[in-house]
Every structure is written in structure tokens, then in C-alpha cells.
Amino acid sequence: MKKDLISMEDLTVDEIKDYLRLAHSVEDLPADERYRLLQGKIMAAMFFEPSTRTRLSFESAMHRLGGGVIGFAEKSATSVSKGESFTDTIYTVENYCDIMVIRHPGEGTARLAARVSSIPVINAGDGSNQHPTQTLLDLFTIEKDLGKISGIKVAFVGDLKYSRTVHSLIRALMKFDVTEFILVAPESLRLPKYFMMTDEPNKYHFYETNHLEEAISKCDILYMTRIQRERFPDLLEYEKVKDSYLLTAAMLEEARPHLRVLHPLPRVNEIAYDVDKTKYAGYFPQARNGVIMREAILLKHLGVKI
Ligand code: CP
């Protein structure tokens, strides 16, 4: 078992399936049994970047398993703001807890923390790089909603350049033999080509378009993303693309009956509120699945079997 969870690139398909199996088992456990599993353990939630879902679902997961939580929700509340280095922070906090969950704007910071830490480190998002716990809960959601992952057709919409959730998920889906992708993005936010590189170039098909309407009737999962203002080096570029796509209920008339609209959230004007009432809306159950998957992740990395 790997000590840390840093990138989906580090995991084999069998290792990913283990997380999914464990999440299904956690979901089936009565609350009182769950509550005994991590008593006496402490999780540090170290969030150097804003978060609602990832931080609170990890905290909820730890509480549901009977463990304790320490941490911070912004850099300004730590001694990093006084000049302490990131690695000194890790060397310090590892004395106070059993597992660290880290979100940071710097790509590679979770990997650095894992290298210097003697306790497990979970990457809760590092810049535009990876968000593996989001990917695991996305896969769990897809499996629950569609009954399978392999062979499905997935459309990604929005910021495919900077979105760590897309970068993590697309490579994981390729491991599950998902071979057909529709990539909907403005020219300036297209998926970097290296995410499409593989040893089997004839196996995978990436169809790139600017038009959301082209994707809706052709996919099983419509994965919407926010255009992330905070990732743009030049805000004028953000202004040009910020409202590129807005999915409405009327646009879903031609959708496949089993289609699920997913979104890592937060949404900022990509999904109209009238979509929430349709049978296609999967994003709030997806957020709920985050607690279950994060319980599974904590159990696995703290070496607790159920
Ligand atoms: N999906 C996600 O990472 O949401 P938060 O930024 O609210 O944690």
C-alpha cells in the first residue's frame, strides 16, 4: 500500500478499484460501526487555498469515523505568513497528527510534502496539477450512476487547460478503457496535448470543439467545469472567456436518457439553476459521495481494514 495519495498517475487500475470497493463497503456500514474505526487518530487539514467541499467533506469523513481534526483554512492563519518555510511547516505538523490533507496553489507541493513527511500525505489539490481525491469520488459517482466506467463516452466542458479535476480524471478514465472523449473549450483553454499522449494512439479518440451543443446528445457523462479566474496570469484573458458556456435545462432535450451532468463545483454561471431539477443533475449527489470516498481514503492510508 502506498503511504501517500498524490497523483492519479501513481495508481494502477487495480489500486483505483480498491478505493472504489472500499467506498462501497464504507457506504454499507452502519453509522455506529463506522464511528469506531478511527478513534484516537487525528487528521490535519492544511488548506493554503480556499475550499468548501474538499476541506469540509474530509473533516466530515474524519468525524464520522470517530477521529479528530486539526488544521487551518488559509495561509494567513499560519506561520508561513511570518516567513516559515513549507517544509518546516510539514516537519512541525507531522508531530501533531496521523495523516495530513494538503491543498496548495503550488504544483508539486503535495509531492514535496510526501517526500519529507513520515506520515501519510493526501493531495487535496495542487495548483492546476492534480486533485486525486476528487477523481476517486468522480469515478465512484460514475460507477454508481451508470453501473460501469469502462466504455462510456465523456465530454469535458470549460477550462480544460487549468482544471486539475479534468487533468486527474481524464487520465484515470483512460486507465479504465474509456476511449472516446469530447473536449469542449475555447481555443485558449484547450486541454494540453500531453494529456492525450499515450502508447496506444489509435485506441483513444479526442474530439475537440468550441460548441457545447455538439456534445450533449453524444455523451454519457457531461463533466462541466468552472472557468477559474484565479488561475489566469492575465485577467484580460479571463474576461474574454469567462462566460463561454452555460448549460440550461432546455439544452438537455436531446440528451441520452441516462446522461449525468457532473461538476466538481463550485459553479459560477456554467450550469443554470433550472438544470438542478432535471433527472440529469448529478453534481450534488457527487458532492455527497465525496464524504464516503474520503472516509475510504482515510481508512486506507491509516491502514484500517473493514
Ligand atoms: N471540488 C472542489 O475541490 O471543491 P472545493 O474547492 O470547494 O474544495
Domain CATH for 247: 3.40.50.1370
250 and 268 belong to one structural domain? yes
Pairwise CA distance, residues 92 & 95, whole Å: 6
Same domain for 259 and 222: yes
Mean pLDDT of 56-76: 97
Q: Is residue 1 part of a domain?
A: no
Output the CA 201–ligand 1 centroid distance in Å. 32
Does residue 214 surpass a pLDDT of 90?
yes
Instruction: Indicate whether 249 pLDDT > 90.
Output: yes
**What pTM did the predictor assign?**
0.96
Q: Determine whether the shortest distance from the Cβ of 264 to ligand 1 is under 6 A.
A: yes
Nearest atom within ligand 1 for CA of residue 55: 8
In a domain, 86, yes or no: yes
Residue 2 covered by a domain: no
Q: Are residues 243 and 209 in the same domain?
A: yes
Q: Please tell me if the CB atom of residue 163 comes closer than 6 angstroms to any atom of ligand 1.
A: no
**pLDDT computed for residue 15 by the predictor:** 98
Same domain, 114 and 176: no
DSSP letter (8 states) at residue 243:
T
- Residue of 54, 126, 140, 163 to test ligand 1 pocket, by largest number of atoms within 8 Å of CB: 54
The answer to whether residues 98 and 39 belong to one domain is yes
Kindly indicate the confidence band of residue 235, based on its pLDDT and cuts at 50, 70 and 90.
very high
Q: Mean per-residue pLDDT for 214-230?
A: 96
Q: What is the pLDDT of residues 166-177, one digit of tens each?
A: 999 999 999 999
Give the number of domains in the chain: 2
Residue spans of beta strands (DSSP E) within the chain: 42-47, 68-72, 99-104, 121-126, 153-157, 180-184, 205-209, 221-224, 260-262
- Compute the average pLDDT of residues 253-278: 97
CA of 73 to the centre of ligand 1 (A): 13
Same domain, 125 and 13: yes
Nearest-atom number in ligand 1 for the CA of 52 is 7
Predicted confidence (pLDDT) at residue 27 exceeds the cutoff of 90 = yes
Is residue 3 assigned to a domain?
no
Q: Write down the mean pLDDT value for the chain.
A: 97
Q: Is residue 65 part of a domain?
A: yes
Same domain, 185 and 145: yes
The verdict on 114 and 161 lying in the same domain is no
Domain that holds residue 13: 8-130+289-301
Mean pLDDT score, 95-105: 98
Q: Is 134's C-beta closer than 6 angstroms to any atom of ligand 1?
A: yes
Segment 81-110 shows an average pLDDT of 97
Domain-embedded: residue 306 = no
Out of 51, 56, 135, mutate this one to test ligand 1's pocket (max ligand atoms within 8 Å of CB): namely 51
**Residue 164 forms part of a structural domain:** yes
| Residue bearing the CA closest to ligand 1, atom 6 | 51
Domain-located, residue 226: yes
Gap from CA of 57 to ligand 1 centroid (Å): 10
Mean pLDDT of 40-63: 98
Say if residue 178 is in the same domain as residue 268.
yes
Residue burial 199-211, b: 16+ Cβ < 10 Å; e: rest: eeeeebeeeeeee
Residue with the nearest Cα to atom 4 of ligand 1? 53
Chain segment 111-152, per-residue pLDDT in tens: 999 999 999 999 999 999 999 999 999 999 999 999 999 999
Predicted confidence band at 1 (pLDDT cuts at 50, 70, 90)?
confident
Q: Are residues 270 and 164 in the same domain?
A: yes
List the residue whose alpha carbon is closest to atom 3 of ligand 1.
54
The 10 Å Cβ neighbour count of residue 222 is 28
Crossing angle, helix 86-93 and helix 109-116, to 10 degrees?
50
105 and 158 together in one domain? no
CA distance 251 to 213: 7
Shared-domain flag, residues 191 and 296: no
